[in-house]
Chains A and B, each alone.
Chain A
Amino acid sequence: MSAELWYALVGVVLVAAAFGAFMAHTHLLRRLLAFNIMGTGCFLILVGLAQHKRAPDPIPQALVLTGIVVAVASTALALILFRRWFAATGRTTLPEEDDV
């Protein structure tokens, strides 16, 4: 198995596992963590798969760099929203259909 395929498959496992965790948990922080790991898996697939003569391809690398900054900004915003939500309601999960 070539190195780029190995990176991409590890990325696939990360995305799938984090997707499962995202569905399984309702605690907002766990969901945010799962979502971040899912994003990291996507980045790993993008950078790992696109290799050029055994060196990373700069174009997906630059796109992933952009993606990381956006991910950091949205994670920070989500954390602020969660803390406001916790301060306002004292809950760590969003209301579900069956317990409204």
Chain B
Amino acid sequence: MNRARAYASVALSVGMAVMLGSAVLTREFPPFDLAVDLAEGIPRSGVAHPITAVLLQFRSYDTLLEIAVLLVAVVVALALRDPTPADESSPESVILDSVINTPVLTSLTMTLLPLMTMTAVYLLWAGAFQPGGAFQAGAVLAALGVLWRVSGRRTGPFAANRWSHVALLAGFAGFLAAATTTLLFGRPLLAWPSSYAGVIIVAIETVLTVSIGISLLGLFASAPAPGDERV
């Protein structure tokens, strides 16, 4: 690291600290209390947990765009994979992949498979009334998928095939379909009718869980394997 660069970095860092710190210290308080508004809106949101209500009812547009970002990231990652991959079933590709082939990991994965699936389902279900929801459940599913892949399995629920691509797309497509269906009934985008809101939110969260799990796994799986680095 050269000296001028180090000095400039320290100076900019201090400048940043001063600016941000003064912005935090001299902030103005809003004349309204959003938390109170939110608490009043919970009964008509369809779910009991405030964060889930914000994510999928009051600020569902953010969540929709977030799924779109995740999908774009995975599509780019899949597009960046090695253009000439070894045949998925050939032994070479298994050797190249980051597989840890020990009986401990294999049996641990089989033990964890039902437990982690159950945890994911519980987190999804818990999201309606306490911390939890699609993202947490999806992350657990993705972790399970990573274990599944690292222990050397290429088949089963986490194989890369046409169905995984459908699952990848299902979250965004389903969410977008639900978001635009409200337009057909003369309601604004993403404005669920409050009598069905609970059912719609749970349905969207379920599809999102699978999509998020597959997306995160796809991001992990499309990184080049350690043995595959040609210089």
Q: Which positions in A face B, CB cutoff 8 Å?
A: 5, 8-9, 12-13, 15-17, 19-21, 23-26, 45, 49, 52-53, 57-59, 61-63, 65-66, 69-70, 72-74, 76-77, 79-81, 83-84, 86-87, 90
10 A-B residue pairs with CB within 8 Å: A17-B13, A20-B14, A24-B10, A52-B33, A57-B34, A61-B51, A69-B66, A74-B73, A80-B224, A83-B224
Q: A77–B13 contact, CB under 8 A? A: no
Q: Say yes or no: is B100 at the interface (Cβ < 8 Å to chain A).
A: no
What's the nearest-Cβ distance from chain B to residue A87, in Å? Answer: 5
> Is B80 part of the contact surface with A, judged by Cβ < 8 Å?
yes
Kindly provide the distance from the CB of A42 to the nearest chain B CB, expressed in whole angstroms.
Answer: 10
Q: Is the CB of A70 within 8 A of B33?
A: no
For B52, the closest partner residue in chain A by CB is A62
Within 8 A of A (CB), among B144-193: none
Does any Cβ of A come within 8 Å of B104's Cβ? no
Interface membership of chain B positions 2-41, coded 1 if the CB is closer than 8 angstroms to chain A and 0 otherwise: 0001101110111011001100110100000111001000
Q: B85-93, B195-203, B212-220: which one contacts chain A?
A: B212-220
User: Roughly how many angstroms separate A52 CA and B220 CA in the complex, as a whole number?
Assistant: 38
Number of A-B contacts (CB under 8 A): 128
CA distance A76 to B220 in the complex (A): 7
Contact with B223, one of A53, A63, A83 (Cβ below 8 angstroms): A83
Closest to B6 in A: A24
Encode B41-72 as 1/0 by CB contact (under 8 A) with A: 00000000011011100110011001001100
Which of the residues B1, B55, B215 comes within 8 Å of A66, measured between beta carbons? Answer: B55
The answer to whether the Cβ of B106 comes within 8 Å of any Cβ in the partner chain is no
Looking at the assembled complex, report how far the CB atom of B135 sits from the nearest CB atom of chain A, in whole angstroms: 6
CA–CA, A14 and B20, complex, Å: 11
Asked if B112 lies at the interface with its beta carbon under 8 angstroms from chain A, I say no
Please state if B55 and A62 are interface contacts (CB–CB under 8 Å).
yes
Determine whether B206 belongs to the interface, using a CB cutoff of 8 Å to chain A: no
- The smallest beta-carbon distance between A36 and chain B, in angstroms, is 15
CB of B13 within 8 A of CB of A19, answer: yes
Complex Cα gap A70–B65 (Å): 10
Pick the contact of A45 from B24, B33, B69, B74 — CB < 8 Å? Answer: B24
A61–B50 alpha-carbon span in the complex (Å): 10
Which residues of chain A have C-beta atoms less than 8 A from B224's C-beta?
80, 83-84, 87
A25: contacting residue among B1, B212, B222, CB under 8 A: B1
Docked pose: A9 CA to B230 CA in angstroms: 45
CA of A52 to CA of B34, assembled, Å: 9
From known contacts A19-B12, A66-B55, A90-B231, infer whether A12 and B21 are also in contact, taking CB-CB under 8 Å. yes
| B73→A87 contact, CB < 8 A | no
Closest to A41 in B: B20
